[in-house]
RNA sequence: GGACAGAUGGGUGAGCGGUUGAAACCGCACGCCUGGAACGCGUGUGUAGGGAAACUUACCGAGGGUUCGAAUCCCUCUCUGUCCGCCA
C-alpha cells in the first residue's frame, strides 16, 4: 500500500514516479483530497470525543438530580449525537480513501526504466549460449506426448483445459527438479518451509492480490478461503501483524507448493502445452529484511535463481522490467527468461521482486529497531516455476531421435 | 460436526461500570553498587493516528449494542484449549 503521507508531503514526486506505472495524476489528486477530507473529519471527531471524556468525569462530583447535572446530561446527549454523525463521516471518508488507495500500485525504484510493455525491458545479462540444433527442434508438448510424459486429454478430462497429467519419467523429473531446487536454495541460506496452499482474504490483501485481482483466484465456495496463486502469499503473511526482533533479520525462506491461477484474461495465449496452467508447482523464495538491506538481497535472490539455471545448463537472460511491465506490488523486478528453441525466444521462468514496504504496510509486518518499530521490506522470487523448467529441459535437451537427455546435475535426484 | 472453557501489554497474570492505558511478577533498557560480574537498589519500558510541542484520540480477540462514562454488562462472529465423534 502506498504511504498516503507521500501524497501530502511530496505530491509531485509521487505523481512523477507513478507515471511509470501508468497511474494518472488526476487519480492521485483525488486520492490526496480524500486523504485531507478524512483527516479533517478525524480531527473534529477527536475534539468531540475529548469533550465527552472530559465532561463525563464530572458525574462523580456533582450531586444527584442537581440542576447542573441535568444540564450536563442534556449537553452530553447533544454532543453524543455529534460524535455519532462525525463517526459516520470519518467512516465513509475512510472507506472512500481506502477503496482507492488499495488499488494504487507500488511506487518504483529510481533505477526502474520508463516503458509500456515487455519490449521496453532492459537486458542486464545473457548467460550460456543457446545450443545450435542440426534438426528442427520440437515444441515441448510434442515431445511430451511422444515420450508419454504429458497427457493433456486426461488432464482436461479430470478437471478442464489447462490441467495436465504428467507421467513416467516426466513426473519423476518434476519431483527431481523440486528436490534439486530446494537443496540449491538452502545452500543460498533459504530455510525450507511448508505452508498452507489455501489462504484467507486477509493474507491475500497483505501481499496485494486482493482486492484488485480477485478474478484471477480460485475461491472456495462459501468460505473466506482461496487457493494460493503463489506461496509468496502464505510465506510472506507468516509474519503479518507481527513485530520481528531485528536480530532475526533477514528472514529467508523457500517453499514448494502447487499454485492455482484462473488465468482470466490470458485469452488464447500459450494454450498448448504446460507453459500456462491453472495448476503448477513453483519453488518460491521470500525474504523479509531491514529497509536498508532489501536492495542487496534482491541481487542475491536473482543470483540464486540464475545460478540454478546455469547448473541445469539452461541458457537464460536477466531482464530489468520497465514500469509498464511490472506487477502491482513491485518496486523493482528482474525477470529471468529461459531459452526455448521451439519458439526461438526467451520466455519468463522466474520473476524476482523487491516490494519495499508496500506489502509490509498492508500486512503490518514490522521489526523493532532500537526504540522504533519500522516497516519491514519484503521480497519474493520464483526460484523457478517447476513446470516451465521442465519445458525448458525438454526442449533444450531434446535429441534428434526425439528422446530427451537428463541434465547431469539431476541424475542423482532421479 | 457436538459439548464445555477461555481470549488483557514482549511473557505470566490481576482487574469493582468512573482517578485503569491497565496492578503484580518476569523479561528488557539505563543508572547506582563492583576491580569486573552476579546479587541488590533506583528509574524507565505497549501499539497506531494527529500535533513543532504541550497534549490529544483510538485500541484489553473482532464487530455491534446499553450508558453521561465499558477491559468490566448484553448480542454476534472468529480463534484457542479440553472432552466426544470422524479420520491421513
Peptide bond into A279 cis (omega under 30): no
Q: The pTM is what?
A: 0.91
Architecture of domain A5-101: Orthogonal Bundle (1.10)
Estimate in Å the CA A14 to C1' B52 gap, whole number. Answer: 25
On whether the A118-413 domain is CATH 3.30.930.10, my answer is: yes
- pLDDT value at residue A285: 97
- Of A109, A351, A353, A382, the catalytic one is A351
What is the mean predicted confidence (pLDDT) over A328-355?
96
What is the mean predicted confidence (pLDDT) over A327-342?
96
Nearest to A199 by CA among A157, A259, A145, A153: A259
Could you confirm whether A186 is annotated as catalytic?
no
Distance, CA of A119 to CA of A45 (rounded, Å): 51
Distance, CA of A47 to CA of A41 (rounded, Å): 10
Q: Is the CB of A56 under 7 A from strand B?
A: yes
Could you confirm whether A348 is annotated as catalytic?
yes
Find the helix or strand (DSSP H, E) in which A300 lies. helix A294-311
Q: Give how far Cα A333 sits from Cα of A39, A85, A174, A261, A359, Å.
A: 34, 45, 26, 20, 15
Distance, CA of A137 to CA of A343 (rounded, Å): 9
Q: Per-residue confidence at A69, pLDDT binned at 50, 70, 90?
A: confident
How many residues can be counted in chain A? 414
Q: Per-residue confidence at A241, pLDDT binned at 50, 70, 90?
A: confident
Residue entry with cell 505452508: A195
Q: Where in chain A is the domain with CATH 1.10.287?
A: 5-101
> Of A77-81, A142-146, A407-411, which range is least confident?
A77-81
- pLDDT value at residue A406: 96
Structure ipTM: 0.84
pLDDT exceeds cutoff 80 at A265: no
- The whole-chain average pLDDT of chain A stands at 92
pLDDT exceeds cutoff 80 at A76: yes
pLDDT in tens, A124-147: 999 999 999 999 999 999 999 999
Q: Is the CB of A63 under 7 A from strand B?
A: no
pLDDT in tens, A268-318: 778 889 999 999 999 999 999 999 999 999 999 999 999 999 999 999 999
What is the mean predicted confidence (pLDDT) over A136-160?
94
Find the helix or strand (DSSP H, E) in which A353 lies. strand A345-354
Q: Where in chain A is the domain with CATH 3.30.930.10?
A: 118-413
- pLDDT value at residue A340: 96
Could you confirm whether A276 is annotated as catalytic?
yes
What is the mean predicted confidence (pLDDT) over A329-333?
96
> Of A93-97, A216-220, A268-272, A342-346, which range is least confident?
A268-272
Q: List Cβ neighbours of A86 (8 Å cut-off, separation of 6 or more).
A: A41, A44, A45, A48
pLDDT in tens, A171-206: 999 999 999 999 999 999 999 999 989 998 889 999
Nearest residue, CA→C1' of B47: A373
Could you confirm whether A351 is annotated as catalytic?
yes
Amino acid at each position: 500500500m502506498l504511504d498516503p503521507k507521500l501524497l501530502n508531503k511530496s505530491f509531485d514526486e509521487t505523481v512523477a514516479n507513478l507515471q511509470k506505472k501508468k497511474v494518472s495524476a488526476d487519480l492521485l489528486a483525488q486520492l490526496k483530497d480524500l486523504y485531507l477530507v478524512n483527516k479533517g473529519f478525524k480531527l473534529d471527531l477527536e475534539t468531540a470525543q475529548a469533550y465527552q471524556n472530559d465532561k463525563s468525569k464530572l458525574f462523580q462530583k456533582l450531586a444527584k438530580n442537581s440542576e447542573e447535572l441535568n444540564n450536563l446530561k442534556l449537553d452530553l446527549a447533544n454532543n453524543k449525537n455529534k460524535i455519532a454523525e462525525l463517526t459516520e463521516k470519518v467512516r465513509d471518508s475512510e472507506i472512500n480513501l481506502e477503496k482507492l488507495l488499495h488499488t494504487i500500485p507500488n511506487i518504483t525504484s529510481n533505477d526502474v526504466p520508463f516503458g509500456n510493455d515487455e519490449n521496453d525491458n532492459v537486458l542486464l545479462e545473457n548467460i550460456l549460449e543457446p545450443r545450435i540444433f542440426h534438426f528442427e527442434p520440437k515444441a515441448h508438448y510434442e515431445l511430451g506426448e511422444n515420450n508419454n510424459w504429458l497427457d493433456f486429454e486426461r488432464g482436461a478430462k479430470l478437471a478442464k483445459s489447462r490441467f495436465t497429467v504428467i507421467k513416467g519419467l516426466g513426473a519423476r523429473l518434476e519431483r527431481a527438479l523440486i528436490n534439486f531446487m530446494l537443496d540449491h536454495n538452502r545452500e543460498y541460506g533459504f530455510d525450507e518451509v511448508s505452508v498452507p496452499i489455501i489462504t484467507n482474504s486477509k493474507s491475500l490483501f497483505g501481499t496485494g492480490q486482493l482486492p484488485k485481482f480477485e478474478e484471477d483466484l480460485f475461491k472456495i465456495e462459501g468460505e473466506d478461503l482461496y487457493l494460493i496463486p503463489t506461496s509468496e502469499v502464505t510465506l510472506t503473511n507468516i509474519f503479518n501483524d507481527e513485530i520481528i526482533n531485528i536480530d532475526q533479520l533477514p528472514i529467508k525462506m523457500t517453499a514448494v507448493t502447487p499454485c492455482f491461477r484462473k488465468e482470466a484474461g490470458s485469452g488464447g495465449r500459450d494454450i498448448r502445452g504446460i507453459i500456462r496452467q491453472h495448476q503448477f508447482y513453483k519453488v518460491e523464495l521470500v525474504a523479509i529484511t531491514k529497509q536498508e538491506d532489501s536492495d542487496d538481497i534482491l541481487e542475491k535472490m536473482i543470483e540464486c535463481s540464475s545460478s540454478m539455471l546455469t547448473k541445469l545448463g539452461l541458457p537464460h537472460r536477466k531482464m530489468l522490467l520497465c514500469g509498464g511491465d511490472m506487477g502491482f506490488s513491485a518496486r523493482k523486478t528482474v525477470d529471468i527468461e529461459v531459452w526455448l528453441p521451439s519458439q526461438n525466444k526467451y520466455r519468463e521462468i522466474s520473476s524476482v521482486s523487491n516490494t519495499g514496504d508496500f506489502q509490509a504496510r498492508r500486512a503490518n509486518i514490522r521489526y523493532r529497531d532500537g526504540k522504533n518499530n519500522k516497516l519491514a521490506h519484503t521480497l519474493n522470487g520464483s526460484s523457478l516455476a517447476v513446470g516451465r523448467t521442465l519445458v525448458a529441459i525438454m526442449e533444450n535437451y531434446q535429441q534428434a531421435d526425439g528422446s530427451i537427455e537428463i541434465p547431469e546435475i539431476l541424475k542423482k535426484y532421479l
